[in-house]
Structure 1
Amino acid sequence: MPQPFDRTTGASHMPYMKTQDFSMYYETIGTGPPVLLIHGLGSDHRGWEYQENDLKQHFRLVVPDLRGHGQSEGGFTDFIPAHQFAEDLDHLLTHLHLDRVRVVGHSLGGIVAQQFVLDFPHRVEKLVLVDTTPKVTEEIADVVLGWREAQLEGGNEAYFWATVRSGFTPQWVKNNPDIVNHLKERAADIKIEGVVAAGLGLAVTDLVDRLQEISAPTLILHGDRDGIINIKMGRLINKGIKGSSLHVFKRCGHSPTVEKRAEFNRALISYLKD
């Protein structure tokens, strides 16, 4: 079973890319064809820790903290639109002298990945969209607002447990207390202001009618019991992107990256290497 990546020994490069208004933290790991990993809302580069040990054997991983998240500094007030995230990633690839990459995005990162391939199609060799959506529906917004209400009432720990209730299957949570506790510790320093700003930006994002413009080979990965972004949104993306494939993880919530990490890693590596 894949174990968390050890950042104390494994990351080969952990610098910042400075722009006019913010500093983007990123890590590069491994060697091979470049793969850009884009984390979800409220997460950071560590959101891929169960993938990195397996992926670094085959690829050069570029793992940033999005604007308003993780160790990235500055660059937001109360609103971060999807196209701003995409522009930041374009700057990062230029900074790293990378022309084309394979792009993998989870949740918020999947929305950013869709915006990125639409804005910079020449940059994307392959696209992988994990438990994501082309638009924030009322159903999704209600879930995220519930997290914010929990945070306002009980702080970051209450926020974390709210995300766990909607993001993971109950049986998995019951069977994996050590991993849940690890994720809880990781979430202690979440930048709630960045979460809010990104959430407001996503609320006005609607890429449904533009899915047909995406020509990059695309794989959609989705848990069938996702309580945040319903599987129907993965099917909508699959229908909208011509030639795309959909892989559904059975008895899995919003994060197959954690719940089904072995199966997820096999599917991801197979697709990216093909």
Structure 2
Amino acid sequence: MEEQNLGAETERVGNRLIESSATSESGTVRTNDIETYYVRRGDGPPIVFIHGMAMSASEWEPQMEALGDEYTVVAYDVRGHGHTGGSDRDSYTMELYAADLDALLAALNVENPVLCGLSMGGCIAQMYAATYPEKVAGLVVSDTFTAAPLPFTGRLIFANLRFFGLLDRFIRYTTLNRFQTWVGNRFSPGVAGDGTTTQRLMEAAPTISHGEFVKIANSMARFPNSDLDASQITVPTLVMHGEDLPAVLRDMHGRLAEELTNADVEFTVIPDAGHASNIDNPDFFSTAVREFLARIASKRSQ
């Protein structure tokens, strides 16, 4: 869904170049050595959405539309993706993505948000919440991964991410869907998901260069070897996954929940959904997030 930004005006405010209208604001802000693209709507407690690998902020359009009536909703393009684009750095890490997010929140004056990340975005959200626990009000991660020790099948997922990052054809976004299908056929038959919508969102976003995608894929492949300590996450956390996610990926969510020893953890399975559960079943996903946000607010008021 494309935002109708009638009567929009563009101006520079400090280090931010913004385009605003009565309904939304979008623009770029300096975060470390890059200009990060963001979209912000609504008014209320903030929730920040972090997209998956090879996607963009537009992945979260259904949730921003659904939750913008009650919350300040922010989505952004992660380094290397979308309108943010790449950088001269030789490699990327989850720690770097978390530092970018911290700079973005500071520039936008967003304080104590709930973070909501899917797939790679969930890894970034975990890293941020573990690194800056005092800056987060809550955490939602869906269809994501864990840095906990994994069995062979789990390690194979990350090994294949590194391999696919080396393929030029991957940048045409066909291999990503094939990879998901291969995982499902190999480890769990009958994986469902709205691959058509995912493909459309990928193709609508600015093209990722081969060099950038290699850095992005490698950052995911190295995630199990990162410095993430999930026990440092102390905020209420909602862990979700699509019911048709391959078994090896479902198991990662159980392992993640076990690692969150100092967080109040809730677990939800999203029906009729695969890896991109916020797209496969957006109404259920948005409602689950809204109810989680209400529970956080209720606990704070007690």
With normalisation by structure 2, the TM-score equals: 0.77
Matches within 5 A, 1:3-152: 4=1, 6-9=2-5, 12-135=24-147, 137-145=154-162, 147-148=164-165, 151-152=167-168
- Provide the residue aligned with 1:165 in structure 2: 181
In the TM superposition, residue 208 of structure 1 has moved relative to its aligned partner by 9.0
Work out the CA distance in 2 between the residues paired with 1:74 and 1:228.
Answer: 33
8 Å CA contact 2:131, 2:232 repeated in 1: no
For 1:144, give the aligned amino acid.
Answer: L
Does 1:210 pair with 2:194? no
SS at match of 2:26: coil
In structure 2, the CA distance between the partners of 1:97 and 1:211, relative to structure 1 (3 Å rule), is: same
The equivalent of 1:271 in structure 2 is 292
Which residue type is aligned with residue 84 of structure 1?
A: L
- Alpha-carbon separation, structure 2, partners of 1:66 and 1:199: 13
Tell me, in whole angstroms, the C-alpha distance in 1 between the residues paired with 2:131 and 2:85.
24
Q: Please give the per-residue CA displacement for 1:116-166, whole angstroms capped at 9, x wherever unaligned.
A: 0111111110100111112284232244356446x5247504335425635
Please give the alpha-carbon distance, in whole angstroms, between the structure 1 residues aligned to 2:183 and 2:117: 16
Quick one: distance in 2 between partners of 1:47 and 1:209?
25
Aligned residue in 2 for 1:241:
260
State the distance in 1 between where 2:198 and 2:134 align.
39
Alpha-carbon RMSD: 2.8
Structure 1 pair 7/192, CA: closer, same or farther in 2 (3 Å)?
farther
* Residue-by-residue CA offset, 1:35-87 (whole Å, 9 max, x unaligned): 11111111110111221110111111111111111111443434111111111
CA 252–146 in structure 1, closer or farther in 2 if over 3 Å, else same = farther
CA contact (8 A) 2:162 2:218 kept: no
Q: Judge conservation of contact 2:122–2:145 (CA < 8 Å) in 1.
A: yes
Please give the secondary structure, in 2, of the residue aligned with 1:248: strand
1:270, CA displacement in angstroms? 0.9
Where does structure 1 lack aligned partners over 5 or more consecutive residues?
none
CA deviation after TM superposition for structure 1 residue 103, in Å: 0.6
Change (3 A) 1:154 1:204: closer
Cα 1:167/1:188, change in 2 over 3 Å: farther
Q: What is the number of residues matched between the two proteins?
A: 266
Tell me: CA distance 1:37–1:192, structure 2 relative to 1, closer, same or farther (3 Å).
farther
> How many Å apart are 1:22 and its aligned residue?
1.2
AA partner of residue 174 (structure 2): A
Q: Report the CA distance shift for 1:190/1:227 in structure 2 as closer, same or farther (over 3 A).
A: farther
Counterpart residue type for residue 35 of structure 1: I
* Alpha carbons of structure 1 residues 172 and 117: separation in structure 2 relative to 1, 3 Å: closer
Counting aligned pairs with the same residue, the percent is 24
Q: In 2, Cα distance between the equivalents of 1:184 and 1:82?
A: 21
Call closer, same or farther: CA 1:118–1:209 in 2, change over 3 Å: closer
User: Does the CA-based 8 Å contact 1:131-1:229 persist in structure 2?
Assistant: no
Structure 2 residue runs without a partner (length 5+): 6-20, 185-189, 296-302
Matched, 1:182 2:200: yes
* CA-CA distance at 1:7 after TM superposition: 2.5
* 1:85-128 deviation line (CA, Å, top 9, x unaligned): 11111111111122211110111111111110111111110100
Distance 1:167 1:26 in 2: 32
Other-structure match for 1:156: 172
Q: Considering only CA atoms, is the larger Rg found in Structure 1 or Structure 2?
A: 2
